[in-house]
Amino acid sequence: MNFAGRIQRIRDCLAGHQIDAMLVSYLKNIFYLSGFSGSTAEVLITGEDALFLTDSRYYERFKEEVYQDYQLVPFYQESLGRKLKELAAKHGFARLGIEAEHLSLTQVEELKENSGVDIVPLSGVVEKLRIVKDDEEIAALERAIRLKEEVFTELVGLIRGDVTEADLAAEFEYRLRKKGAQMASFPSIVAFGKNSSKPHATFTDQTLVPTMPLTFDLGVELDGYCSDMTRTVFFGGVAQGWREIYSIVRKAKDAAADGARAGMRCADVDRIARDIICQGGYDSYKVDGDERKYFGHGLGHGVGVEVHEAPRLNNRSEETLEAGTVVTIEPGIYLPDQGGIRIEDMYVVREDRLVNLNALPTDILVVE
């Protein structure tokens, strides 16, 4: 990965904010800037130096993983503010940017009290750099997708009348690790029958419900990059009405993917899919006089070193799609206490189109 380029972009940001150095505390951002996959570290980037603060548990991992331009600074169970005061004297910085959204008020107060430098709260500096992926990152995302699709295909082969949601969720976790992934990229969603009406259902010991939706929303983290895919399948046939709903969701997904391109407002991409679902008769319903949507969540989100990152594709988003961004498109229709359909793939945004990174088809799948 181009860590040198990423560090330089941080230095460019320092000049733009008129600060001398930046402290990066969020582990996903530290991974993005250094390659470090451990659980304890701070990164300090100045105009001239890149410092990596961690303790003896990670000295060997530092040598194995961290980009070579970083200098190791031993740091363990001591005041971060006082350590920064020491480093400021040595490396010559007086104004320090911090990741305001990733530090607690107590931590910020400690820095202000003990560091001896001006603390400047910053928001989303590294996250903005992460939005556009280079070719190496897209290749890493594709590897995570391929592994996830391989495991999902194996799960489909395990579907039978007595299998439970928990059975398949456990099989997914076991098999992804056997194939080299670090972990699932989010808590696995395996939802049978009416449980599938909950977009973020948790798996239970419920056995599958023949002819009703079986929703699998699964992802893996492989070498620091994530995948995210949803498929809704059926067992022993398809109950009345669900083929039509499946067709509407698939049409909405394909239309949004076909209509999107770089420079387009994310809210407008969301609207393409949402209009098709509404025109199909699934706009809203009422519960105790309150209006609720059959498609109540956003159309998608960015994916990278985190499974949910910028940009957000929803009807309130003010963001636009940038070339090189990787996003999901995942419309759904959910019938309360009955079931739901969601289909999701990951796409890379190009200047004139979206390119599907998934290989598995989205035709309705019925397991007999």
Higher pLDDT, 199 or 16: 199
What is the pLDDT at residue 286?
86
Residue range 180-207: average pLDDT?
A: 95
Distances (CA, A) of 221 to 185, 197, 306: 5, 26, 9
Q: What is the pLDDT of residue 289?
A: 85
Residue 286 class from Cβ within 10 Å (0-12 exposed, 13-18 middle, 19+ buried)? exposed
In whole angstroms, what is the distance from residue 323 CA to residue 109 CA?
A: 39
- Phi, psi of 299, rounded to the nearest 5 degrees: -75, -30
Neighbour-count burial of 337, counting CB atoms closer than 10 A to its CB (0-12 exposed, 13-18 middle, 19+ buried): exposed
- Are 42 and 103 within 8 A, CB to CB? no
* Per-residue CA distances from 133 to 2, 56, 258 (Å): 11, 33, 21
Cβ(229)–Cβ(343) below 8 Å: no
Q: Is 136 a residue whose pLDDT tops 90?
A: yes
Task: Measure the CA–CA gap between 118 and 193, rounded to whole angstroms.
Answer: 56
| pLDDT, position 288 | 83
Task: Tell whether the torsion through CA atoms of 175, 180, 182 and 188 is positive or negative.
Answer: negative
Q: Supply the pLDDT for residue 234.
A: 98
Q: How far apart, in whole angstroms, are the C-alpha atoms of residue 261 and residue 254?
A: 13
Contacts for 340 with CB less than 8 Å, ≥ 6 apart = 191, 196, 197, 198, 199, 213, 215, 232, 332, 333, 334
| CA-closest candidate to residue 338, choices 194, 239, 240 | 194
Residue 180: pLDDT band with limits 50, 70, 90:
very high
Q: What is the pLDDT of residue 287?
A: 86
CB 209 within 8 A of CB 215: no
Q: Which two tokens stand for residue 52?
A: 């990596």
Report all structural domains of the chain as residue ranges with CATH numbers, in order of start.
Answer: 3-130 (3.40.350.10), 135-367 (3.90.230.10)
Mean pLDDT of all residues in 99-121: 96
The span from the CA of 345 to the CA of 47, in Å, is: 40
pLDDT score for 170: 97
133 pLDDT band (50/70/90 cuts)? very high
How far apart (Å, rounded) are the C-alpha atoms in residues 45 and 14? 9
| Spatial CA neighbour of 117 closest among 46, 13, 40 | 46
How distant, in Å, are the alpha carbons of 34, 199, 227, 255 from that of 230?
31, 11, 10, 17
For the segment 20-58, what is each residue's pLDDT rounded down to a tens digit? 999 999 999 999 999 999 999 999 999 999 999 999 999
* Residue 225 to residue 30: CA distance in whole angstroms: 14
Region 244-260: mean pLDDT is 98
Q: What percent of the chain has pLDDT over 90?
A: 97
pLDDT single digits (tens) 266-297: 999 999 999 999 999 999 998 888 999 999 99
Percent of the chain with pLDDT over 70: 100
For the chain, the average pLDDT equals: 96
DSSP one-letter code for 302: E
Residues 256, 283: Cα–Cα separation, whole Å: 17
pTM over 0.85: yes
Structure token pair of residue 310:
């910028």
The partner residues of 337 in beta bridges, in order of sequence, read none
pLDDT of residue 13: 92
The phi and psi torsions of 276 (rounded to 5 degrees) equal: -65, -40
Strand partners, 325: 132
Look at residue 160 in the predicted model and tell me its pLDDT: 93
Confidence of residue 172 (pLDDT cuts 50, 70, 90): very high
| Nearest to 272, CA basis, from 234, 242, 313, 305 | 313
